[in-house]
């Protein structure tokens, strides 16, 4: 079983390929659809995701797709299971299994991700439906004025991530471990560094205690960036240098790969930061992308819920995936971005 897990984890971070995060909850996809004037019906959600799964991007630049519980059970218009479309493209189906971040008792302003109850049974069902990896997101906010994050909150979230990861591996499913330090707020880049270091070290400590096989997992962290409201923003070079530095100090070299979340960055910023990190070289693990908005904002806008726009939306998705593929290889440039647009 360990060899199978390791092989899947390696395939998830294959050279020049990344993971599409298409696991938006019903509430989140509704917000995305509201922004483009599309009603969030089951059929529209199906049609939108189907257009991505049938695109050129899937065969060339996408190693895996994180699905929402609704999507893993859906069929395309022609009756083909959406999971089968992903597999036919040579990509790996995955599943979001957490139940979302909820307010944490005794820790005002902080959250704990729920979903451990009954997870073993759900994982078996998802495996039978075709999922070979899973995702669990822990959310860590920064508010220094309120003393956030706290030790208790970080420890609780890291423990839940580790228990989830252990259950996944027992079910022959590769866990994506996602401890996200949010870029909301006005904190500077050094505060993000310090909190991320704390979160990552605590997470790997808990993974060790739960006997999680690090060779059979993928880490999905935030990049080291200042808060959106920070007075001073950071250069691409500074983000890359500080992100790589904190990862080298916290992430064991046996972890096969790190697939970054975009966390609210603009499409091009997320691409540029990844490229700059890869270009630094000397890394013990693969670096790639696991983006949601940074891959999907352009195709959603191009599609706008109209069947006649499907090809245009697929082209927009393929373009963004191509740019991020180049970044994961350290071959992206702003000139390449303009030329391919």
DSSP annotation of 222 reads: P
Q: Give residue 335's pLDDT.
A: 80
Helix, strand, coil percentages in the chain from 3-state DSSP, rounded to 5: 50, 15, 35
- Write the pLDDT tens digit of every residue in 167-210: 999 999 999 999 999 999 999 999 999 999 999 999 999 999 99
| Residue 340, pLDDT above cutoff 70 | no
Instruction: Please report which confidence band the pLDDT of residue 1 belongs to, taking 50, 70 and 90 as the band edges.
Output: confident
For the chain, report the end-to-end CA distance as a whole number of angstroms: 43
Q: Give residue 104's pLDDT.
A: 95
| Residue 262, pLDDT above cutoff 80 | yes
What is the pLDDT averaged over residues 54-58? 97
178 is annotated as an active-site residue: yes
CA geometry: angle 309, 313, 316, nearest 5 deg? 145
Instruction: Please report which confidence band the pLDDT of residue 334 belongs to, taking 50, 70 and 90 as the band edges.
Output: confident
Q: Is the dihedral of CA 98, 100, 101, 104 positive or negative?
A: negative
* φ, ψ dihedrals at 20, nearest 5°: -85, 120
Q: Is the dihedral of CA 239, 216, 132, 88 positive or negative?
A: positive
CA geometry: angle 264, 268, 269, nearest 5 deg? 55
| Residue 336, pLDDT above cutoff 80 | no
Q: Is the dihedral of CA 50, 56, 59, 63 positive or negative?
A: negative
Strands 18-22, 62-67: pairing kind: parallel
| Residue 147, pLDDT above cutoff 90 | yes
Q: Give residue 92's pLDDT.
A: 98
335 is annotated as an active-site residue: no
Which residues, in sequence order, are CB contacts of 338 under 8 Å at separation 6+? none
Q: Which of 96, 220, 242, 286 is catalytic?
A: 220
Strands 62-67, 286-291: pairing kind: unpaired
User: Domain ranges in the chain?
Assistant: 2-340
| Residue 320, pLDDT above cutoff 80 | yes
**CB contact burial 10-47 (16+ within 10 A = b; e otherwise):** bbbbeebbbbbbbbbeeeebeebbeeeebebeeeebbb
- Write the pLDDT tens digit of every residue in 126-139: 999 999 999 999 99
| Residue 341, pLDDT above cutoff 90 | no
- Write the pLDDT tens digit of every residue in 78-107: 999 999 999 999 999 999 999 999 999 999
Q: Locate all alpha helices (DSSP H) within 281-333, ordered by sequence.
A: 293-303, 310-328
Average pLDDT, whole number, for the chain?
A: 96
Q: Is the dihedral of CA 89, 125, 23, 174 positive or negative?
A: negative
Second CATH level (architecture) for the domain 2-340: Alpha-Beta Barrel (3.20)
Q: Which of 110, 178, 206, 337 is catalytic?
A: 178
Taking each helix axis from N to C terminus, what angle separates 267-280 and 310-328, rounded to the nearest 10 degrees?
30
Which is nearest to 240 in space by CA: 224, 251, 259, 220? 224
Q: Give residue 338's pLDDT.
A: 76
């Amino acid at each position: 079983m360990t060899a199978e897990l390791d092989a899947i984890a390696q395939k998830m971070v294959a050279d020049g390929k990344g993971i599409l995060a298409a696991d938006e909850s019903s509430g989140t996809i509704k917000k995305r659809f509201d922004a483009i004037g599309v009603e969030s019906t089951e059929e529209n959600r199906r049609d939108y995701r189907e257009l991505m799964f049938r695109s050129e991007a899937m065969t060339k630049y996408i190693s895996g797709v994180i699905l929402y519980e609704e999507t893993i059970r859906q069929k395309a218009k022609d009756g083909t299971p959406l999971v089968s479309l992903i597999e036919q493209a040579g990509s790996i189906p995955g599943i979001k299994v957490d139940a979302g971040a909820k307010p944490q008792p005794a820790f005002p302003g902080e959250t704990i991700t729920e979903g451990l109850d009954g997870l073993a049974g759900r994982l078996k069902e998802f495996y039978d439906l075709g999922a070979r990896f899973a995702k669990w997101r822990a959310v860590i906010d920064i508010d220094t004025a309120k003393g956030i994050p706290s030790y208790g909150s970080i420890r609780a979230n890291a423990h839940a991530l580790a228990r989830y990861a252990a259950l996944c591996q027992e079910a022959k499913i590769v866990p994506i471990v996602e401890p996200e330090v949010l870029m909301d707020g006005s904190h500077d880049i050094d505060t993000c560094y310090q909190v991320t270091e704390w979160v990552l070290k605590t997470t790997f400590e808990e993974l060790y205690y739960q006997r999680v096989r690090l060779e059979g997992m993928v880490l999905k962290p935030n990049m080291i960036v200042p808060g959106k409201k920070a007075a001073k923003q950071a250069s691409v070079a500074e983000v890359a240098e500080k992100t790589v530095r904190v990862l080298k100090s916290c992430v064991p070299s046996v972890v096969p790969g790190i697939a970054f979340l975009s966390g609210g960055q603009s499409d091009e910023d997320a691409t540029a930061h990844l490229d700059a990190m890869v270009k630094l070289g000397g890394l013990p693990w693969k670096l790639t992308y696991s983006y949601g908005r940074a891959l999907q904002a352009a195709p959603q806008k191009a599609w706008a819920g109209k069947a006649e726009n499907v090809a245009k939306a697929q082209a927009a998705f393929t373009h963004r995936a191509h740019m991020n593929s180049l970044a994961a290889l350290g071959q992206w440039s702003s000139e390449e971005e303009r030329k391919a647009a």
